[in-house]
Amino acid sequence: MQKTADVGYSIAVLSWDQETYMPEKGAEFRAQQISTLSGVFHKMITDDTLGKWLEELSKDNSLNEKQKKNVELTKETYDKQKKFTTEFVELMSKTVSECFQAWQSAKEKNDFSIYQPKLEKLVELKKQECEILGYKDHPYDAQLNEYEKGATAKDLEKLFVDVRKELVPFVQKIKQAKQVEDSFFYKTYDKDKQWSFGLDLLKQMGYDFDAGRQDRSSHPFTTSFNPLDVRVTTRVSENDISEMIWSCIHEGGHGLYEQGLPAEEYGLPLSEAISLGIHESQSRLWENNVGRSLAYWKKNFPIVQFYFPDQLKDVKAEDFYKAMNKVEPSLIRTSADELTYHFHVMIRFEIEKALFEGTIKVADLPAYWNAKYKEYLGVDVPSDTKGVLQDIHWSHGSFGYFPTYSIGSFYAAQFFDKAKKENPSLTTEIEKGEMKNLLKWLREKVHIHGRFYTASELCEKITGEKLNFAYFMNYAKEKYGEIYEL
Ligand code: CO
């Protein structure tokens, strides 16, 4: 399994390089290199000898609990990979790369018709994939399960009913309140100084620079080659300091999770993250619950002011805190505030579910999208580039991915509530920039377990109950009630 992991993580290194330092002309051969290694990986993970060993090991009663879990989860992966023929894997990979290219050009030219035929092909293939993978109630469940094991359309629907019922009227109330001022975010901020400030924030969180580094990329991401080498990236915009701050703290949260996974389990499931939802809970906890709190800026505002004395001379810590929590319905998901963000996810969830049950067709997407944005966010979509073409996910064949963003935020609120209850001085510690205890808590409760527990088992183990949207809503009401004087 370690040898298989060696190949898998080598692909990760090549992909990281592709997004950060690779010169443009290297793209074609890089794609070939990654595709070759993916083939090697698939061959290794579906090797018949491995299958035989796993069969034997799953009957071996001398294994301890952790070893049993490693065998059980590896066997799951093996059985799943075995369901796919090489022809199917290759066809999928080819279709995805065509679809991705069509999406790029469609987005650039604001022309959905370039994308439509390729996406139709990909959706058809994805529907076949659902049948190959298998599902109980809804074909879309097979897609969801790839990112959030055990998640179903039915459960998510229930969750989003709560979101609609509670969050929609709450945002309406905020819309009628006096808007907060955030124009100082958009002055000119020297990129190198921003970079230094971002590194300060990462160090303060406890990100280990001897086991990781930060680089620039056009879309911030985190990747890991093993827990002792975890890379984060960020983007820096000269005319919006908030962008660097958020991506730094967010990816830092992902990075801390990866650095906290047990290195001694390298190559085995217990060295891996549970699910995208739990991964996102770690990034959102740092980004929102910590990074968008007043306590956090009591410590860090003087630091950012030190870097940018002119730009921020008339600004107070409290103004900075309010600005970063400005709520305003908008067109673009990635720059949405932490409340209206979930409307963006809800729209994508409804569309994906409808696509997989066949109630809408790819051709209907732009009109359907625009109607939903009007309904949930009250905004008119001026172009498909700023509408249905904005996200990369579908062109990659990633259906069922979006809901994990919301699930992650809701887990984060529930975990953070528990962390505060177990450590009543947490807020005071954050005010002083002392993150040691919080990180230790996350390490012990979440990181060191790898995939030993499922997401919902872990949530129950930590908080005593299953995922409960009420924690997010209470957090939102308390914070935004104060900011907007509701
Ligand atoms: Co994330």
251, 258, 280, 287: the catalytic one is: 251
C-alpha 237/C-alpha 371 separation (Å) is 32
How does DSSP assign 101-133, residue by residue?
A: HHHHHHHHHT-HHHHHHHHHHHHHHHHHHHHHH
- The amino acid sitting at 124 is E
What is the structure's pLDDT at 252?
Answer: 98
Mean pLDDT computed over 269-284: 98
The two structure tokens encoding residue 226: 């093993």
The two structure tokens encoding residue 350: 């409804």
Ligand 1 centroid, distance to 16 Cα (angstroms): 16
Alpha helices in 222-337 (DSSP H): 241-260, 276-284, 294-307, 317-323
What is the structure's pLDDT at 19?
Answer: 84
Ligand 1 centroid, distance to 280 Cα (angstroms): 5
Residue 356: count other Cβ atoms within 10 Å of its Cβ: 24
Model confidence over 331-382: pLDDT tens digits? 999 889 999 999 999 999 999 999 999 999 999 999 999 999 999 999 999 9
Ligand 1 centroid, distance to 250 Cα (angstroms): 6
Residue 280: count other Cβ atoms within 10 Å of its Cβ: 26
Whole-prediction pTM: 0.95
The two structure tokens encoding residue 383: 């172009």
251 in catalytic set: yes
**Inter-CA distances, 380 with 178, 273, 364, Å:** 22, 38, 17
Model confidence over 63-114: pLDDT tens digits? 999 999 999 999 999 999 999 987 888 888 888 888 988 998 999 999 999 9
Model confidence over 389-429: pLDDT tens digits? 999 999 989 999 999 999 999 999 999 999 999 999 999 99
Model confidence over 179-208: pLDDT tens digits? 999 999 999 999 999 999 999 999 999 999
Ligand 1 centroid, distance to 258 Cα (angstroms): 12
Ligand 1 centroid, distance to 389 Cα (angstroms): 20
Which CATH code for domain 153-483? 1.10.1370.30
What is the structure's pLDDT at 96?
Answer: 87
Q: Where are the domains of the chain?
A: 2-46+84-134, 153-483
27-31, 174-178, 238-242: least confidently modelled range? 27-31
> Taking all residues of the chain, what is their mean pLDDT, rounded to a whole number?
96
pLDDT at residue 169 tops 90: yes
Model confidence over 202-239: pLDDT tens digits? 999 999 999 999 999 888 999 999 999 999 999 999 99
